[in-house]
Amino acid sequence: MRALADELSRGAAARREELIDLVRTLASVDAPSGSGPDALAAAADVVAGCLRLPGARLSRIPGTQGDLLELELGPQSSDRTLVLGHYDTVWPAGTAAQRPFKLDGDVITGPGVFDMRGGLAVAICALRLLGPQRLPLRTTVLVTPDEETGSAGSQRRIVELALDSRWVLVLEPPLAGGRVKTARSGWAVYRLKIAGRAAHAGLEPERGVSAIDELCDVLAHVRGLARAPLGTTINVGVIGGGTAVNTVAESAHALIDVRARSVAEMQRIDDALGALRPIRAGASLSVQALHSRPAMERSRAIARAFAHARSLASLLGIKLAEGRAGGTSDANLIAHRGVALLDGLGPEGGGAHSEDEHILVSSLVQRAALIAMLLANPPEPQPAVDARSCGRPPSP
C-alpha cells in the first residue's frame, strides 16, 4: 500500500491544474437551493458532464428539486462504497456572474467552492486517478439537488444506497485543520400555530382569547426544554400573529429551531413538542415538524471507519484528525442506522455560506489522493448492527 500511496500522491499533484479547472467549471453555474428543477437544470448538466468517466454508468433521476445524479462504476460486487455529495448551494441565481471563481495563489474563492464544489472536484479527480479497474467494490456516487433544504426529495435514495454499502464517504467541507466529522448535532424545525378568538380590544376584550398571549406563554415552556450542558438548544427564530393593534389576536405562529447532540435528546424534544397543550380555555394549538435530521453520534461503526481512514492517511503523510460539527449534512440521515461513514472529506477552506467562502488548492491535491486511497482500500465488512439499537429520528 505504500507504493500505491506514493503513486496517488504524485498523481494528484500532477493533476493540480485539472483540479483547479474542475472547481472553476463547477462554480461557474448557479444552483440556488429550493428553487426547483428548472433553476437547477443547468447545474445538473454541468455536474453530469464532469461525472462522465470511462467505464461508468450515469443515471439522472428526476426529483422534486432537481435531478439526482447517480454514477456507478467498478465491479458488480454484492457490496459497495457510496460517495455522497450535493450540487445545490445557498446562493441565489446570478451569484456566479456577480462573484465569479477567482484563484489567488493557493486560495480559490467563489460561491459554493467550500460547500461543496471542492468536494465534488476531489472525488471526481480521485476516480480519474484510479479508474474503474482498481476499485475493489462497486462504487456509487450520488450527487443530490436539495441537501441545503433538508433533502426531502433525496432522502429515500440516500438511505436505500447507504444501507446497501460497506461504508459511505461524504464530501462535505472538513472542520478547521482538515479534521473529518465523526459527530454532528441533529437538527429539526417545527411550526407552532395557535388559534384563539378575535374581539375588540376596547369594547369587549373579555370575549377574546389572545393567540399572541398564548404563544408567548407556550414558548416560555418550550424554551425551558433546552439543555445547554448536553448541547441541546432551542431557538425561536420567527414569530408572527394578529391583524390589528386594537384587536385581540385570533392567530399566531412561531418557527422553532432545535439542535441536539444525541438521538435521544432529539426524541425528547420531539415528544415534548408533540405533547404541548393550550394553557387558556378557548385556545388551540398544533405543532408540525417541517424538517428533521437526527443527531449523528460517534458510533462504533463510525469510529472504526475513522481509524481505518487515519491509518491509510498516514501512508500519504497526512495526520488525519476528527471532531464534532454543529451543523448537519446528509450523513445525519444514515448514521443512526449503524452505517459506517466518514464525513467532511472535502478540501480545507472556510467561509461556508458567506461571501468569503474559499478553499485551498494544496488541500484539493491532498484530498484527491486521500479519497483515492480510501476508495482503493475499503475496510473489512462490519458486524451486523440492529438499527433499532441506534435510536430513532424525530418524526418527519
User: Do 140 and 36 lie in a common domain?
Assistant: yes
Pick from 118, 16, 13: nearest CA to 358 = 118
* Helices assigned H by DSSP within the chain: 2-14, 16-26, 37-51, 95-98, 118-130, 155-163, 211-223, 263-274, 300-315, 332-335, 361-376
Residue with cell 461556508: 352
Angle at 194 between CA 191 and CA 199, to 5 degrees: 150
Residue 172 grid cell:
462535505
In a domain, 396, yes or no: no
Domain that holds residue 367: 2-184+296-390
In a domain, 46, yes or no: yes
User: Do 254 and 354 lie in a common domain?
Assistant: no
CA separation for the pair 48, 42 (Å, rounded):
10
- Tally of CB atoms within 10 A around 395: 11
pLDDT at 20: 98
CATH of the domain at 225: 3.30.70.360
Stretch 215-221: mean pLDDT: 97
Looking at 242, 264, 292, the residue that finishes a domain is 292
CA separation for the pair 51, 42 (Å, rounded):
14
Q: In what order do the strands lie in the sheet with 233-241?
A: 233-241, 251-260, 186-195, 284-293
| pLDDT value at 390 more than 90 | no
Identify the DSSP state of 94.
T
Asked if 361 and 16 count as a contact pair (C-beta separation under 8 A), the reply is: yes
What pLDDT, in 10s, does the model give residues 94-144?
A: 999 999 999 999 999 999 999 999 999 999 999 999 999 999 999 999 999
Number of domains in the chain: 2
In a domain, 29, yes or no: yes
User: Do 230 and 258 lie in a common domain?
Assistant: yes
pLDDT at 108: 98
- Tally of CB atoms within 10 A around 286: 11
| pLDDT value at 392 more than 80 | no
| Strands 322-325 and 180-184, sheet pairing | parallel
Return the C-alpha torsion angle 310, 313, 315, 317, nearest 10. -120
Q: Report the share of the chain in percent with pLDDT over 90.
A: 95
